[in-house]
Structure 1
Amino acid sequence: MAIRRALVSVSDKTGIVAFCKELTQQGVQVISTGGTKTLLEQENVPGVGISEVTGFPEILDGRVKTLHPAVHSGLLAIRDNAEHRRAMEQLGLDYIDLVVVNLYPFKETIAKPDVSYEDAIENIDIGGPTMLRSAAKNHAFVTVVTDAADYEQVLAELKAGGDTTLETRKRLAAKVFRHTAAYDALISDYFAKQLDEPLPEKLTVTYEKIQDLRYGENPHQQAAFYRKPLAGAGSITTAEQLHGKELSYNNINDANAALAIVKEFDEPAVVAVKHMNPCGVGIGRDIDEAYRKAYEADPTSIFGGIVAANRTIDKVTAERLSDIFLEIVIAPDFTPEALGILQRKKNIRLLRMGGLSSAAERRPEWLVTSVEGGMLIQQSDVHSLSDADLKVVTTREPTPEELKQLLFSWKVVKHVKSNAILLAKDSMTIGVGAGQMNRVGAARIAIEQAGEKARGAVLASDAFFPMGDTLELAAKAGITAVIQPGGSIKDEESIAVANAHNIAMVFTGVRHFKH
């Protein structure tokens, strides 16, 4: 077979004029529609309009132009099927060997903050996906192109042998079905949001590859990094890497965890993360004080960790950061002096992260977790606690300073793997017990890490105490105030222990399990 006729209709016209000129030089007739036809005529590229092929005008503001038997017969006819050939000859129809189509810019349209519903609907392509699917189905005979990046290979094969190889046609057909599936998924998601149906009976999601990764959590696991088509600022998927090696799978996971925690704070804050758990969190008058607290919280675990800040990194802070080995530093920006200091370290990755909204402006997103044979979907945990939400259940109420530390610790403990216990003092974490099979074990780890600093500190628990043993440990360590959800059938036991040791305890009524 040979490519003799091509149908070209593109919204994104990148490279299309040069491509079509090359086609015509190879003796290929170019059929075009609408704006593509106008552009090719302006550039003196010979060809014919779609109406000359169909014998029917483009109507309804261009909504109907390629939905015609003359088009789809030419695309779907099986060339080595005698019945198909006979039908084409009897009806005076001709084959179409190459389709070059990309779709109306639906994604770009709905990304506009002021887009109207009517404008969104008008940018749903109908004829384009239909032609793509027809051509891709019949890829044994038809070449179909959706991406300008493929023009060069198609031309090279056309020049070499008059047609593309079957292998190329298969690859391009597979690309078409991914392309149209992603397009339809965006439309489906748009309607779900319009109708406030976030959990429909069928859920189709689409992502765009950012990069292949060297490996996953471990070297024997294959991995890649994808993002949502309309991912907004303030996520690791839209960060700008200013320096350092390519991000790894574990880097990305840890960086995402660090970002989630630092977004809890409006005041200057720094978060250090190791293996998805915070090892140090601090807030201060400026970013340097916040970093010093985050570092002092656990000088051992921060080594080789990820640091996220919610303020620009300045020269002084950069000098402190450069004193130890860190995998990543994430911040809204870096001063030129800070960037120069940190770029001296060859392996550190520096990410500039815009769009960190205030804690009050955060909105829940839908998070997807894979399970074998399916997936779970839930809203992200962006619950924010205020003083008014707290219920004091002990005889002694927390002091203003204790209350401040309790609220600080509650913002952090929600991001610690369950079972979780966190100790805080002077607006910094001093002990973190993460991912333990029982709450007493988590408390022991946090208290041991804090050491003498535990005296006068506060304790936060991500879920209720099933009995009073955790509070007994807290009392021995000198903890003075506790925050926890409450809700256990043995709450009264815990309250009694707290009262016996003059510990102020408040219930939040909210649990923060993070498995």
Structure 2
Amino acid sequence: MKVKRALVSVSNKLGLDTFVQALTDLGVEIISTGGTAKFLEEKGVRVTHISEVTGFPEIMNGRVKTLHPKIHGGLLADRDNHDHMLTLKEHGISPIDMVVVNLYPFEEVSGKRGVTEAEIIENIDIGGPTMVRAASKNFKSVAVVTDPRRYGEIIDEMKASDNQLSLETLRSLATQAFHTTAHYDFVIANWFSEGVSDFPPFKLLDFEKIQDLAYGENPHQRAAYYAEVNARRHLLSRVTQLHGAELSYNNLLDLNSARELLREFSLPAAVIIKHNNPCGVAVAENISAAYDKALAADPVSAFGGVIALNRIVDEELAAKLAKNFIEVLVAPGYVAECLELLTQKPRTRILVNEERRKAVSGEPDYRRVMGGLLV
């Protein structure tokens, strides 16, 4: 699909001027709306205002800009459908080959303190999602760009192929676009549900993949770790792996149990988990003593377990840890000399947990059951 004409209407203008200038340099005509057009013109980019295309001004403080047949006809016309193209010609509608849209920052605004309901509602985007969905439905004919991080790759592909974008790229952009609008509606629906009930009639959850895992519950199974989109924290949000093999499904189950239990303690504490069960938990005056006590609870089960600590690992503790086989070790930090000793064991996964937040009540807890969810 060759890009000749693009409609640009964004809230987040990061990198936009560079991207649109590159499109202009490739001979692409730029149509734009309101604040986006003003921004681009101030950057020296030539644009055609949306009202010049529709023959109708933006009205209702910008609530109605792009909701017009000359826009959506140009987006929804299937280029391979003769009747569609004939209809465009009959009504004087020109095809639009690319839509560059990101949506009003509803999630950001609704999360601010002191913001009014009217301000939040004004950040419910209507025209943006409508264009995104129209272009995505017609993805074989229209490129839909919703993520500024993809500007570079799009320009590179167009430069290398006479303004063409491959079907693979078009499908990838449409997939991302539908996820974008789905998440957007998800956030809005949840906002409307807030305050109605602690347990509203519908519960929507949205997750994104963080990483693939080494294997599933059993070695022949596949697995991946997903986190709630824009969660304030999640299992690996402040965790960095310093050493060892990829984390597995069972590693994360045990790590979750270990971290949840460890967060209950302010004194130096050690938690040892095996097969998702605590086999040693202790507090003491220092972290080395806490580990000794936790290990003494069940030294047999501790073999190949997950060990979580809430203090930095020093040389004394590292020497003790090195004597045992550990699947996963997580701590707030490690003295440099300790890492040299601990990394001699290639199978041990060594993690740093930089989270300092203590347990917080009031956050919902979800448990999967057969065909359902406990909240």
Q: What TM-score comes out, normalization by structure 2 length?
A: 0.88
**Superposed displacement of residue 369, structure 1:** 1.6
Deviations 1:443-500 (A, max 9, x none): xxxxxxxxxxxxxxxxxxxxxxxxxxxxxxxxxxxxxxxxxxxxxxxxxxxxxxxxxx
Residue in 2 that maps onto 1:73: 73
Deviations 1:393-412 (A, max 9, x none): xxxxxxxxxxxxxxxxxxxx
**Superposed displacement of residue 117, structure 1:** 4.1
**Superposed displacement of residue 28, structure 1:** 0.7
Deviations 1:87-111 (A, max 9, x none): 3223222111111112222333344
**Superposed displacement of residue 165, structure 1:** 2.3
Q: Distance between the aligned counterparts of 2:307 and 2:356, measured in 1?
A: 17
Q: Distance between the aligned counterparts of 1:112 and 1:292, measured in 2?
A: 46
Residue in 2 that maps onto 1:406: none
Q: Which amino acid aligns with 2:358?
A: S
Q: Which amino acid aligns with 1:362?
A: S
**Superposed displacement of residue 112, structure 1:** 4.0
SS at match of 2:129: helix
Residue in 1 that maps onto 2:374: 378
Q: Distance between the aligned counterparts of 2:369 and 2:69, measured in 1?
A: 43
Are the structure 2 counterparts of residues 268 and 215 from structure 1 closer, same or farther at C-alpha, using a change threshold of 3 Å?
A: same
Q: Which amino acid aligns with 1:166?
A: L
Identity %: 44
Are the structure 2 counterparts of residues 193 and 3 from structure 1 closer, same or farther at C-alpha, using a change threshold of 3 Å?
A: same
**Superposed displacement of residue 44, structure 1:** 1.4
Q: Does 1:167 align with 2:168?
A: yes
Query: What are the equivalent positions in structure 2 for 1:111-190 lying under 5 Å apart?
Result: 111-112=111-112, 116-159=116-159, 160-190=161-191
SS at match of 2:211: strand
Are the structure 2 counterparts of residues 146 and 272 from structure 1 closer, same or farther at C-alpha, using a change threshold of 3 Å?
A: same
Deviations 1:370-399 (A, max 9, x none): 64xx3x2223xxxxxxxxxxxxxxxxxxxx
Deviations 1:211-231 (A, max 9, x none): 122322223222211111232
Q: Does 1:216 align with 2:213?
A: no
Q: Which amino acid aligns with 1:354?
A: E
Query: What are the equivalent positions in structure 2 for 1:486-505 lying under 5 Å apart?
Result: none
SS at match of 2:194: helix
SS at match of 1:44: coil
Contact 1:240 1:352 in 2 (8 A): yes
Are the structure 2 counterparts of residues 16 and 343 from structure 1 closer, same or farther at C-alpha, using a change threshold of 3 Å?
A: farther
Are the structure 2 counterparts of residues 309 and 345 from structure 1 closer, same or farther at C-alpha, using a change threshold of 3 Å?
A: closer
Q: Which amino acid aligns with 2:73?
A: S
**Superposed displacement of residue 115, structure 1:** 5.0
Q: Distance between the aligned counterparts of 2:171 and 2:67, measured in 1?
A: 24
Contact 1:328 1:351 in 2 (8 A): no
Are the structure 2 counterparts of residues 49 and 197 from structure 1 closer, same or farther at C-alpha, using a change threshold of 3 Å?
A: farther
Structure possessing the higher relative contact order (Cα contacts under 8 Å, 6 or more residues apart): 2
Are the structure 2 counterparts of residues 257 and 23 from structure 1 closer, same or farther at C-alpha, using a change threshold of 3 Å?
A: same
SS at match of 2:108: helix
Deviations 1:184-225 (A, max 9, x none): 12222232233225342x433211221122322223222211
- The total of aligned residue pairs comes to 369
Q: Which amino acid aligns with 2:365?
A: W
Residue in 2 that maps onto 1:458: none
Are the structure 2 counterparts of residues 17 and 73 from structure 1 closer, same or farther at C-alpha, using a change threshold of 3 Å?
A: same
Contact 2:213 2:248 in 1 (8 A): yes
Q: Which amino acid aligns with 2:351?
A: L
Contact 1:107 1:229 in 2 (8 A): no
Residue in 2 that maps onto 1:273: 273
Contact 2:262 2:270 in 1 (8 A): yes
Are the structure 2 counterparts of residues 256 and 120 from structure 1 closer, same or farther at C-alpha, using a change threshold of 3 Å?
A: farther
Query: What are the equivalent positions in structure 2 for 1:355-504 lying under 5 Å apart?
Result: 355-358=356-359, 361-369=360-368, 371=370, 374=371, 376-379=372-375
Q: What TM-score comes out, normalization by structure 1 length?
A: 0.66
Deviations 1:315-352 (A, max 9, x none): 54444334433233334x326x3x54135422432221
Residue in 1 that maps onto 2:86: 86
Residue in 2 that maps onto 1:236: 235
Q: Which amino acid aligns with 1:94?
A: S
Are the structure 2 counterparts of residues 327 and 145 from structure 1 closer, same or farther at C-alpha, using a change threshold of 3 Å?
A: same
Q: Distance between the aligned counterparts of 2:26 and 2:374, measured in 1?
A: 54
Q: Distance between the aligned counterparts of 2:289 and 2:218, measured in 1?
A: 36
Q: Distance between the aligned counterparts of 1:196 and 1:28, measured in 2?
A: 50
Q: Distance between the aligned counterparts of 1:118 and 1:328, measured in 2?
A: 49
Residue in 2 that maps onto 1:204: 204
Please, what is the CA RMSD of the aligned residues?
2.5
Residue in 1 that maps onto 2:195: 194
Q: Distance between the aligned counterparts of 2:163 and 2:122, measured in 1?
A: 38
**Superposed displacement of residue 154, structure 1:** 2.9
SS at match of 1:238: coil
Q: Which amino acid aligns with 1:365?
A: P
Q: Distance between the aligned counterparts of 2:186 and 2:340, measured in 1?
A: 41
Contact 2:318 2:341 in 1 (8 A): no
Query: What are the equivalent positions in structure 2 for 1:337-356 lying under 5 Å apart?
Result: 337=335, 339-342=336-339, 344-346=341-343, 347-356=348-357
SS at match of 1:236: coil
Q: Distance between the aligned counterparts of 2:318 and 2:196, measured in 1?
A: 48
Q: Which amino acid aligns with 1:345?
A: L
Q: Distance between the aligned counterparts of 1:199 and 1:343, measured in 2?
A: 52
Q: Distance between the aligned counterparts of 1:205 and 1:26, measured in 2?
A: 41
Contact 1:330 1:351 in 2 (8 A): yes
Q: Which amino acid aligns with 1:184?
A: D
Q: Which amino acid aligns with 1:220?
A: H
Residue in 1 that maps onto 2:295: 295
Q: Distance between the aligned counterparts of 2:193 and 2:356, measured in 1?
A: 25
Q: Distance between the aligned counterparts of 1:41 and 1:230, measured in 2?
A: 33
Are the structure 2 counterparts of residues 292 and 122 from structure 1 closer, same or farther at C-alpha, using a change threshold of 3 Å?
A: farther
Contact 2:314 2:338 in 1 (8 A): no
SS at match of 2:31: strand
**Superposed displacement of residue 257, structure 1:** 0.9
Are the structure 2 counterparts of residues 292 and 209 from structure 1 closer, same or farther at C-alpha, using a change threshold of 3 Å?
A: same
Q: Distance between the aligned counterparts of 1:183 and 1:369, measured in 2?
A: 24
**Superposed displacement of residue 64, structure 1:** 2.2
SS at match of 2:279: strand
